[in-house]
Structure 1
Amino acid sequence: MARPESLTPAFYYFDDVAVDRENFRLVKGDEIRALEPRAFDLLIYLIERRGRLVEKQELFEKVWKEAFVTDNALTRAVKEIRRAIGDDASAPRYIETLPKRGYRFMAEVKTVSETDSTPRQAESPGSEERADSQSSDAAIRKTMSAPRVNVRLMAYGAFALAVVALIAIGLQALFRSASAPHAISSLAVLPFSNGSADPNSDYLSDGITESIINSLSQVSELKVMARTTAFRYKGKDADPQTVGRELKVEGVLTGKVTQQGDSLLVQAELVSAADGTELWGERYSRKMSDILAVQEEIARQISERLRLKLTGDEAKRLARSYTANTEAYQLYLKGRYYWNKRTEESYQKAIEYFRQAIERDRKYALAYTGLADCYSFLSSQGIRPPREVFPLAKNASETAIALDDTLAEAHTSLAYVKLYYDWDWKGAEQEYNRAINLNPNYATPHHGYAYFLISTGRTEEAIAEIQRAEDIDPLSLIINTDHGEFYYFARRPDRAIAQLQKAIEMEPTFIRAHFLLARAYVQNGQCNDAIAEFQKARSLATGEVEMLGALGQGYASCGKRPEAQRVINELVALSKQHYISPHWLAATYAGLGEIDESFDWLDKTFETRFGPLIYLKVNPIWDPLRSDPRFEDRLRRVGLAP
């Protein structure tokens, strides 16, 4: 019997799967399979467009229509369909994934209308059906022949009843209740994707993510993974449940930021890491001038959804806007974007953006903090002399505190200056403790305070503090690496080596990890391994002189005098063209046993106020000098008791 072309099929068949469009039913073999309504709609949409790529945006618009949806919701729906029809994402027979684009339904499909009892070949309507195919179709139709009720209505009704039941037993079973088995008390905010065509808009999606992390980390009841850990997932199609297992968090927030001209679309979704269910989702379509309000609203709505008990101060900090000037805020985001790249060129770009932000808003405390961090790290990475940039860092951080004394970032920045430049031990400890009290979930002051503790010989306290930093920011390369240095300072080379190898597994090209692993090998008497690691660090640090100094010191410690002397000569020549810290020469001469020469260069290091002199008491590279009476005087000069 011929079927009118305009008649919508009531049934779709492929292999041993039958889909009853009218009654919202799916059968595989002789078993009826459950499928959530939206997933069923998605399956129908893909089947009806079989053979062609269906873009994600089309699916959002046609299947979800006006409802909020993110990439994760679409991925979960496809995963549910594959489970129901017996498909495998790694070797698909039915639904093909085209990464970052969309999906294609691949199978050959037969169709049957309400008035037609014979399955029809979709691709070749006039073809005859084989006997075994007819038998299979008959078996499927028998399974499908149960009384036809409105299954879609029943499915939506079931959801409604579930919601009523949840209300009846209390939403705290999902969120904040002492007895709730799946209460959300820990959260990872994954980098929001950049939905714009312009990669230069990354600063916006990255910045909004970081701002939400910073806002939510103010809440004492909620453990929030730090930025560095969250951004290890940037550009990856991370499944929230997998992220939850890896980071040991109970909730995962994902989102997308799309900028088109003056229009801004921000989508956000909070998912339970336990079972992948959506706990909250929202779509914000605003003007760029509303960017500050959007991220504040996201943080507020999440805190409300999780029923977090905020103190008065926490509520104020969560709602606080650090600037009312949208242009200043965007410039600040660009500054932080370049700051996080951690290169000489990127620091200069960041400084320029922070300055522009301050020009737009002279009371923008966070922008002053950004400036302070740039100046400090230009020195700590050996790019600029301490006396040239640390006073600028101090001025910027003190200005930030004068503008906002409750800003943990500002106190952390000032603590760094006081410790590494002023050698003001009491002042540094006060600032670190103030920062930690203001925001216990902020990893950076824990990290800095740990160095304060190890430098003063409070070893066990220091290791506990660096562990706290790592708990907050478990995937931070720098924290994992520096954790290894603490074991090196504590004369535990086996622990140091294990920790530093773990860091290198996280990122094989991380220069500092190779450099510190080399030092740990020297301490453990493994000089061949040590030299190999020093050379690896040097090869990775193209165009930088810091690792040349480290290699020279390594040669000296391992008794390779000619090689060490060659590096000394090269460093002296380079110092006439570029800033080089004298401490590399002091350490290399110490390793060679040339004590007087080492003290001469060490005194020049004091004159520059080189920050890492705070490690003089614990760093093994200075062991050859410790028995000399002059060494106690140098300890006193940096503010340390012998």
Structure 2
Amino acid sequence: MKRCPECRRDYYDDTLLYCLDDGNALLEGPASGRRETKDGSPENEPQTAILPGLGVPPLGGSGSEPGAIATGFRGGEDKTSQHIITTGQTAIFQTGAEAEPRESLGDLSERQSLSAHLAAKPLGGRMKILVAFGFAALILVGGFFGYRYFSSSSSGPINSIAVLPFENRSGNADTDYLSDGLAESLIYKLSQLSGLKVSPTSSVLKYKGSQTDIAAISKELEVDAVMSGRVTQRGDDLTISVELTDARTKKLIWGEQYARKLADLLATQREIAATVVQKLQLQLSGDQTQGLAKQYTNNNEAYQLYLKGRFYSNKRTPAGMKSAIEQFKAAAEKDPNFALAYAGLADAYYLTQVVGDNTAKAQGKETLSAARSYLDKALALDPSLAEAHATLGNIIGSTEGKWTEAESSFKRSIELNPNYPSAHHFYSLLLRKQGRFDEAFDEAIKAKQADELSAGISSNMAEALYEKGDIEAAIAEANRGIGLAPFWRQYRTLAHCYLRVGKTDEALANARKAYEVYASPTTLSVIGYVQAVAGNHAEAKAILSQLENSFAKGDEDSAFNATATSVATVYAGLGNTDRVFEWLEKDFQANRSDRLWSLRMSPQFVPLRGDPRFKDLMRRVGLPQ
């Protein structure tokens, strides 16, 4: 038996679907004298309307089946509850005091027929109101989330990315080289793409071991996307998880987990790099595509040794450089054609002069000779190594005085990798030595844009700003660099800046700070110079005497005894020009022209630039006029 919910007429023909009087869909069961609402439910029972067009899977009598999602609404003065109950693909609007599903809705086929009929004919009364309300709610909710999705995902193409050091979840610090090295390898690969700015390893290493805050990191590094990952090694088994997030929208662009063997590390690294490029929808040239797929070695053991070398080199300590050299040499022995291993050796030997201990620095000629030899080997194997070209330019420019060749190396490095910050940084220093200050300033800006968190690059930027006469900006940049990592050159720049504006107390405080950070004849001479300019001649002459005595008994080949240039610095502060040139000549006669190549970028000697003796000295040391 069926019944009409509108006229309450009973039908004994079970094949009928609709009331013959008013066309309403029939429901199972007799009217039984009940006073029903238009959908067939008693007035004191919940009313349920099934939204047209949605499939209706079976519902139990309780309405509390697993998987049901209920979203509550409140309205009306009777404060009865209204619910949307969703099960599978079905949405049911329900009102009433108890807000439970109807037990008399019939079987699946009946409800499907009812749904189809309701969609095909006009609805009347309360049913129409409920359905209209349901559609309005869906439109509002869908519109809201649609707006949120499309507005947040329309931030434009991704032009910059930071690859963070991967987290080592192996529980063994000895495998840090894998997590750090994998991230650095991806940085190296991606940085070769001219259309993508990639934060260098020096900028992202500070985030190692810290909580990954995508918003804060992207803001500090000024990037559109951030990539993070985790590496777990268990014997020969590797599990690598990676996530690529659009930092502007906080949406996950891509995430994947790789379960591989350690022997497959090389192939996995290349696969991840290629996938990142695909997900970023980068348009690559033919050369860029070839560069991304390039295989520097097929020897997995050599590659792991190379990663260990980079891991130790990034520590920037004397012990780290020693270990790095050992690992790079071992990698080259495993694969004699592995150009990156020789480039790593060259970098490590060169950096020994920067961060090495006293013994290593005193062996400057030997270490630089070794660096040059390994660079030649690396570039002979692979002329497309941008980093090797930049290091070569720095060595021949700072130690051999081959200005034209050095500039060509820097330009080639920048051509191969426009994002490589060190190429712009070293090139800026070369241009400053030649007095090409406007060009040097432009390169300093490019270096800073490529690596905002390098203290060395910041130091050069501050000096370049001083040379342009923007003292306020130079002070701000020097202080920013100190916040990154205290460096004696930053304090020296501050000392000269404060002297320039007549703040001698601040100048002296910063000169002393430079000596505290790096106690040497060079920083001692800065104190002597500031004392002299400030009118404290007795203090300046005391320092001068100390430097002259050190020079008299020192070894000219040692970096830890006073140089003639450091003595000349104090005489410049005292205004004794003749003695300045007398002492500068000593360096020239001792075949130490390399100590005179920086005279044009030394603030204490700026007043001497118009002196014919200065111009003659620049000519004799080989600097372009």
- TM-score, reference length from structure 1: 0.69
Q: Distance in 2 between matches of 1:319 and 1:615?
A: 42
Partner of residue 439, structure 1: 417
Pairs aligned (count) = 491
Q: How does 1:128-527 map to 2 (within 5 A)?
A: 147=85, 149-150=87-88, 181-379=155-353, 383-384=361-362, 386-507=364-485, 509-527=486-504
Q: How does 1:43-192 map to 2 (within 5 A)?
A: 147=85, 149-150=87-88, 181-192=155-166
Q: Choose which of 494, 506, 509 in structure 2 pairs with 1:529.
A: 506
- 1:86-145 per-residue CA deviation (whole Å, 9 max, x = no partner) reads xxxxxxxxxxxxxxxxxxxxxxxxxxxxxxxxxxxxxxxxxxxxxxxxxxxxx9xx8696
8 Å contact from structure 2 (residues 525, 543) kept in 1: no
Asked if 1:580 corresponds to 2:563, the answer is no
SS state at 1:237 partner: coil
SS state at 1:283 partner: strand
8 Å contact from structure 2 (residues 544, 567) kept in 1: no
Deviation at 1:535, TM superposition (A): 2.0
- Structure 1 residues 480 and 218, CA, compared in 2 at 3 Å: closer, same or farther? same
8 Å contact from structure 2 (residues 152, 249) kept in 1: no
Q: Distance in 1 between matches of 2:345 and 2:591?
A: 21
Aligned amino acid, residue 564 of structure 1: I
Q: Choose which of 605, 620, 625 in structure 1 pairs with 2:603.
A: 620
Deviation at 1:316, TM superposition (A): 1.4
SS state at 2:597 partner: helix
Q: Distance in 2 between matches of 1:413 and 1:425?
A: 14
Aligned amino acid, residue 304 of structure 2: Q
Partner of residue 565, structure 1: 544
8 Å contact from structure 1 (residues 447, 479) kept in 2: yes
8 Å contact from structure 2 (residues 528, 541) kept in 1: no
Aligned amino acid, residue 457 of structure 1: G
- 1:457-482 per-residue CA deviation (whole Å, 9 max, x = no partner) reads 22222212111111111222221221
8 Å contact from structure 2 (residues 531, 540) kept in 1: yes
- 1:273-323 per-residue CA deviation (whole Å, 9 max, x = no partner) reads 122111111112222222222211111111122222211211111111222
SS state at 1:614 partner: coil
Q: Distance in 1 between matches of 2:90 and 2:435?
A: 69
- Structure 1 residues 262 and 337, CA, compared in 2 at 3 Å: closer, same or farther? same
Deviation at 1:406, TM superposition (A): 0.7
Q: Distance in 2 between matches of 1:520 and 1:341?
A: 32
8 Å contact from structure 1 (residues 586, 602) kept in 2: yes
- Higher mean Cα deviation, 194-203 or 435-444? 194-203
Q: Distance in 2 between matches of 1:26 and 1:586?
A: 84
8 Å contact from structure 1 (residues 470, 479) kept in 2: yes
8 Å contact from structure 2 (residues 466, 474) kept in 1: yes
8 Å contact from structure 2 (residues 236, 261) kept in 1: yes
Deviation at 1:212, TM superposition (A): 0.5
Unaligned runs of 5+ in 2: 1-63, 93-149
- Structure 1 residues 573 and 603, CA, compared in 2 at 3 Å: closer, same or farther? closer
Deviation at 1:255, TM superposition (A): 0.7
Deviation at 1:174, TM superposition (A): 10
8 Å contact from structure 1 (residues 386, 611) kept in 2: no
Q: Relative contact order: is structure 1 or structure 2 higher (C-alpha 8 Å, sep ≥ 6)?
A: 1
Deviation at 1:388, TM superposition (A): 3.4
- 1:396-438 per-residue CA deviation (whole Å, 9 max, x = no partner) reads 2122111110110111111011210111111111111100001
Deviation at 1:526, TM superposition (A): 2.5
Larger Rg: 2
- Structure 1 residues 557 and 422, CA, compared in 2 at 3 Å: closer, same or farther? farther
Q: Choose which of 44, 59, 66 in structure 2 pairs with 1:22.
A: 66
SS state at 1:422 partner: coil
Q: Distance in 2 between matches of 1:539 and 1:24?
A: 69
- 1:494-515 per-residue CA deviation (whole Å, 9 max, x = no partner) reads 33112112222334x3444223
Aligned amino acid, residue 540 of structure 1: V
Sequence identity (%): 37
Deviation at 1:379, TM superposition (A): 3.6
Q: Distance in 2 between matches of 1:370 and 1:627?
A: 43
SS state at 1:617 partner: helix
- Structure 1 residues 444 and 329, CA, compared in 2 at 3 Å: closer, same or farther? same
- Structure 1 residues 428 and 499, CA, compared in 2 at 3 Å: closer, same or farther? same
Deviation at 1:254, TM superposition (A): 0.8
- Higher mean Cα deviation, 478-487 or 193-202? 193-202
Aligned amino acid, residue 570 of structure 2: T
- Structure 1 residues 300 and 259, CA, compared in 2 at 3 Å: closer, same or farther? same
Partner of residue 57, structure 1: none
Asked if 1:633 corresponds to 2:616, the answer is yes
- Structure 1 residues 349 and 608, CA, compared in 2 at 3 Å: closer, same or farther? farther
- 1:125-168 per-residue CA deviation (whole Å, 9 max, x = no partner) reads xxxxxxxxxxxxxx9xx8696545248999xxxxxxxxxxxxxx
Q: Distance in 1 between matches of 2:567 and 2:393?
A: 28
Q: Distance in 1 between matches of 2:532 and 2:515?
A: 16
Q: Distance in 1 between matches of 2:476 and 2:508?
A: 18
- Higher mean Cα deviation, 230-239 or 398-407? 230-239
Aligned amino acid, residue 566 of structure 2: W
- Higher mean Cα deviation, 440-449 or 517-526? 517-526
- Structure 1 residues 488 and 375, CA, compared in 2 at 3 Å: closer, same or farther? farther
Q: Distance in 2 between matches of 1:580 and 1:261?
A: 48
- TM-score, reference length from structure 2: 0.70
